[in-house]
Amino acid sequence: MSTCFRHIFFCCFLALAVVFQPGTLLARQATIADIIVTNSETELLLYFTVKNCFTDEITAGIQNGIPATFTFYVDLYQVRKGWPDKKLASHNFNHTLAYDNPKEEYRITLAEKKQENTVVSNLARAQSLMAEVNGFSAIPLSRLESDRTYRLKVKAKLAKKTLPMYFHYLIPFSSLWDFDTDWHVLEFRY
């Protein structure tokens, strides 16, 4: 009898775990990919992409006029043996994507570029611009010592939107807008 009870308990526990974790078995995890660190004459430059960051719910929300904001975090450390790593730079900046329904165009704001909004009519192009960081200036080269090891940490987060009044009860996908990538760490020598 106790063996049967254990099997029933295990099956109920497994069923509840699956029910209360919807989509986690099939969900695609947003990740940082394709990191490239290079330099110009005066700056250390960073390029990377966020993969799997646009779910159907996020895309539907954008097309219904809810802007999406990605916040990127970039930390740079000098690796020191026998000592804690020295933090040289810490940055965070936003990419915002909004859809203008009457004009049927997407407006992308890239905070690190300090320029006017980029306007495109193609959703795939808008998502690509939103998920890519191209040529971000992480630190002036004058602050780096040659022949040293450095650690770069990069993370992306979809900024949680707070909807006015009780709209979060009316829009069922608003809670599915949360994603937070793991820190992606890259070591390099300069």
pLDDT of residue 173: 47
φ and ψ at residue 130, rounded to 5 degrees: -65, -35
Mean pLDDT for the stretch of residues 54-64: 89
Q: Per-residue confidence at 22, pLDDT binned at 50, 70, 90?
A: very low
pLDDT of residue 65: 87
Average pLDDT of the chain to the nearest whole number: 83
Q: Is the dihedral of CA 127, 129, 133, 134 positive or negative?
A: positive
d(C-alpha 137, C-alpha 42), whole Å: 10
* pLDDT above 50: residue 177: yes
Q: What is the pLDDT of residues 30-51, one digit of tens each?
A: 899 999 999 999 999 999 999 9
pLDDT of residue 74: 98
Of 135 and 21, the one with more pLDDT:
135
% of the chain residues with pLDDT over 70: 75
Of 111 and 11, the one with more pLDDT:
111
φ and ψ at residue 34, rounded to 5 degrees: 55, 45
Mean pLDDT for the stretch of residues 139-165: 85
Domains in the chain: ranges and CATH: 31-189 (2.60.40)
Kindly provide the residue ranges of all beta strands, DSSP E only, lying in the chain, ordered along the sequence: 31-39, 43-51, 68-78, 86-100, 105-110, 118-120, 132-140, 149-158, 184-189
